[in-house]
């Protein structure tokens, strides 16, 4: 059976696809932050357990990873990553190396940028799309009844901005991991 085409279908479909791309990009950003948090946590675990063999360490880290909240919100991940930076073993190593001090300072900026992009992603992800007067709108229903016109350029800019920050955090994590170094065998090396 042929689908009935309605006025605005193509525009709504395109806007829905961009929402999906924004949400997916945001999930990738969360993944990059979670990986950084994990590697800092693994570094601290390794320093807390200097007697552990390499296989004991990996087994313990796999067990700990299995107990992590895989679905933590971005703001929680950012807070926990900052806390992992402030853990005694990480802070001790960072305090003795000028490059690590610089990287630690950069985390504050990266974290704030990620938080702001997460908020923008949430604003888009918690709305619904409508077609009215030849335009696509994002709406928040009752009791607020707010409506904002959708901009394809703004959506695409947000997708690009989130993707660029994700790459920046991945490169940052790789650089940090060469200086600490990270203890988990599950390593992701990012290059440009």
Give the 3-state secondary structure of 5-67: CCCCHHHHHHHHHHHHHHHHHHHHHHHHHHHHHHHHHHHHHHHHCCCCCHHHHHHHHHHHHHC
- Structure token pair of residue 142: 């009752």
Mean pLDDT for 21-44 is 94
Question: Which residues, 6 or more positions from 119, have their beta carbon under 8 angstroms from its beta carbon?
Answer: none
172 pLDDT above the threshold of 70: yes
From 37-41, 79-83, 117-121, 188-192, the region with the lowest mean pLDDT: 188-192
Q: What integer best gives the mean pLDDT of the chain?
A: 91
User: Quick one: pLDDT band at residue 2, thresholds 50, 70, 90?
Assistant: low
Model confidence at 1, pLDDT cuts 50, 70, 90, reads low
3-state secondary structure of 174: helix
Confidence of residue 25 (pLDDT cuts 50, 70, 90): very high
Q: Tell me what pLDDT residue 99 has.
A: 96
Higher-scoring residue by pLDDT: 46, 161: 161
Global pTM reads 0.89
Judged by average pLDDT, the poorest of 38-42, 86-90, 141-145 is 141-145
pLDDT above 70 (res 4): no
Q: What percent of the chain has pLDDT over 70?
A: 97
Measure Cα distances from 190 to 102, 168, 173, 179 in Å: 19, 9, 8, 15
Whole-Å CA distances, 39 to 9, 46, 97, 173: 45, 10, 18, 9
Residue among 48, 85, 76, 54 at smallest CA distance from 176: 85
Quote the tokens at residue 162. 């989130």
| CB-based contact 158:121 (threshold 8 Å) | yes
Q: How high is the pLDDT of residue 8?
A: 83
């Amino acid at each position: 059976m042929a689908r009935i085409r309605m006025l605005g279908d193509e525009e709504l479909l395109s806007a829905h696809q961009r929402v999906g791309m924004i949400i997916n990009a945001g999930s990738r950003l969360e993944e990059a932050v979670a990986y950084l948090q994990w590697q800092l946590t693994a570094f601290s675990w390794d320093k807390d357990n200097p007697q552990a063999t390499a296989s004991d360490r990996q087994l313990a880290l796999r067990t700990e990873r299995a107990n992590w909240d895989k679905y933590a919100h971005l703001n929680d991940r950012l807070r926990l990553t900052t806390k992992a930076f402030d853990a005694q073993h990480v802070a001790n190593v960072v305090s003795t190396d000028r490059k690590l001090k610089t990287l630690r300072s950069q985390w504050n900026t990266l974290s704030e940028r990620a938080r702001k992009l997460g908020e923008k992603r949430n604003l888009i992800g918690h709305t619904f799309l409508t077609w009215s007067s030849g335009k696509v709108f994002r709406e928040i229903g009752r009791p607020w009844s707010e409506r904002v016109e959708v901009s394809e350029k703004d959506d695409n800019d947000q997708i690009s901005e989130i993707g660029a920050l994700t790459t920046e955090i991945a490169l940052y994590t790789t650089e940090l991991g060469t200086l600490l170094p990270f203890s988990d065998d599950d390593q992701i090396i990012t290059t440009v």
